[in-house]
Structure 1
């Protein structure tokens, strides 16, 4: 193992060490200290997990690897969210937190992650265009095979509105969503990928290792990171709730935003690193796959966790959670509509970020529904503009075999792609 890789993994393990000690010896001296110690461990383990998942693509096909990477990258979020759902089965006070982490991370991913990657990618592309005295790039072109993921996300976004209408998440509906995720993985595994893989940072060091040591290293990192995350999920989740009470801050707010910020940080950093290397389309592809995972496997698992926790039935939702699902679902519909034509303009990214920021100043029920209506209205306008892409996108997940079509020769992509005439495949 390269020395640089050992140093980085060692630093992460050193950061996580206090949490392991606290967990083994049952130390819980203070809610705020627990929040810092266990939160830091979750972030450190998330970095290890992200490096291993990215390097694993050396041995897995590109599209499927992106789907698996997105699944593994959100493991910290799954661990925390499923703990709340499980706890709600025997403690009704935790029902309000069951879906809070999911809605927060979902909106954070689209409202902050997508715009950040697009803006960084366009800045890099325009810097390169300026050096070459080429035309300015105004949008990020997604490869045609991205239509498969966008189509899946569009279907899931529509299905998501069944949850607020039902007022709860039935077990049968959860099973439908889990089956949809399995179908998505199967379709992703069928996609072809012939391009060379690209790696950055610690993942590049792992990928450059000989095959056998590389695979053993990846497996070991998966096991260690997963063990740390699973060991810290419960105390971290409890610390979030207790810290809210201690600080006089709404515990729901901390659960919804602080936990996702900790778990999503490595994924955002890796996505930005790829955008800086001119691979913005690949970075967005990973974030889209994460959205699919959240709306399918994660949401589908919540009622099952509630049931196994002793809930004995469907996962109930209070009025606040129903509002959050409507707001999150409408944001997803808006995001899908904006990228329906596989072009991500800078003004679209700025609009997503601005609307995401507004929600922090909207704290009442009426305001949330008005904001949801605004997002739906934007989605309708975008769908009208991109009406020719609607049917091909919705059909993409159900085609017998997904075959990418050639992109127009004028398509603008990430750095160095403006002059390419065929579909460009880049695996994260």
Structure 2
């Protein structure tokens, strides 16, 4: 599994010189989150036959999103900050994002807005799934407008990525594609036994089923992603790419992963009973979605200035730890997210914080 994580990461670093970095990261996110899709599909399928287990599908979705944002983003920052720090008295630096990264940041807005509709209905069906998939397709279409990185930046890439890109003619895309294919194949072959063995160990340790589904399963299924992004974060020039890898995965989760739930659930229920039904959720599941939505909105607003600093990372980590260690604090954590969102919005409104991401995104849309 470790080898698969490095292979797809090397492939992505080479691919960004052929296609846009955003598209390379989108492809990488698909490969990295494939175990997560498999787990979610199994849970939704079983819930379709037994609706009493439907809450587990929401638990896995929200846990996966909150884990990446609440633990993954801060982890990227602190690995970056302390890897490049030569003096203990030196001020912790910020991760400075590139203009093209505004696409990933703004790309979070459409699915988050649409999820307000889903939360209000306390249900989502195949039409909602189609809308979410269409939003993801629109995000990919915008990524097509961004150019590949200049070949001069190749010198900062790992030796394997440089070797793959320097192949001539048809061999270049073949070798880069091979890195993705071999890495993805290894990931597919090792993810299921790795996941099952770790879940068995967690079960022996006495963790509840809900805890396993919401936190343990997402952590294990996202393990390859943590490996590759932490590897990038150790290099100052690749830290923005590491952070955008996780943001791209968040977009994937809010759109395609979420869309899979009503489709698999409805089809499973149809196979079992002969009737297709929408996926419905109750009050506690609605709170899980609201908490996850607020966390993602906060993360997105923190990136609107195109920088990610120690305070941003600390806030996300502390609030995630609070809900993880003390589950009944979910409502209080949701309020804390809401308060910080209001503080950020006021900061943007009075000019105390730079609102750069929307401007850079519009510049990309105007590009021919």
TM-score (norm 1): 0.72
Residues 181, 293 of structure 1: 8 Å contact kept:
yes
For the residue of structure 2 that corresponds to 1:401, the secondary structure is: helix
Match of 1:286 in 2: 245
1:263 aligns with 2:227: no
The residue number in structure 2 matching 1:115 is: 74
Residue 334 (structure 2) aligns with: 372
Q: Deviations over 1:183-225 (max 9, x none)?
A: 0011001112343345337555655656655644554555555
Q: Do residues 72 (structure 1) and 27 (structure 2) align?
A: no
- CA gap 1:78/1:53 in 2 versus in 1, 3 angstroms: farther
1:385 counterpart = 2:353 = no
Note closer, same or farther for the CA distance 1:144–1:163 as it changes in structure 2 (3 Å cut). Answer: same
Segments of 5+ residues of structure 1 without an aligned counterpart are 1-11, 13-42, 404-428
Which of 162, 165, 171 does residue 117 from structure 2 map onto? 162
Alignment of 1:3-402 (within 5 A): 45-46=4-5, 48-127=7-86, 136=91, 138-195=93-150, 196-197=153-154, 198-200=156-158, 203=161, 206-207=164-165, 212=170, 215-220=173-178, 222-223=180-181, 226=184, 247-279=205-237, 280-311=239-270, 312-364=276-328, 367-387=329-349, 393=357, 401-402=365-366
Shift, 1:71, TM fit? 2.3
Q: What is the CA–CA distance in structure 2 between the aligned matches of 1:350 and 1:203, rounded to whole Å?
A: 33
- The answer as to whether partners of 1:240 and 1:251 remain within 8 angstroms in 2 is no
In the alignment, is the contact (CA less than 8 A) between 1:88 and 1:95 conserved in 2? yes
The superposition leaves residues 272-323 of structure 1 with CA deviations (integer Å, 9 ceiling, x where unpaired) of 2222211222221211111111111111121112122235221222444322
| C-alpha distance 180-232 of structure 1, shift in aligned 2 (>3 A) | same
SS at match of 1:249: coil
Q: Identify the residue that residue 273 of structure 2 maps to in structure 1.
A: none
- Decide whether the 8 Å contact of 2:6 with 2:228 is kept in 1: no
Q: CA deviation at 1:139?
A: 2.4
Q: TM-score, normalised by structure 2?
A: 0.82
Partner deviation per Cα, 1:312-347 (whole Å, 9 max, x = no partner) = 221222444322211111110111122211121211
Gaps of 5+ in 2: 271-275
Aligned residues: 356
Q: Alignment partner of 2:211: what SS? A: helix
Q: Considering only aligned residues, what root-mean-square deviation do their CA atoms show, in Å?
A: 3.3
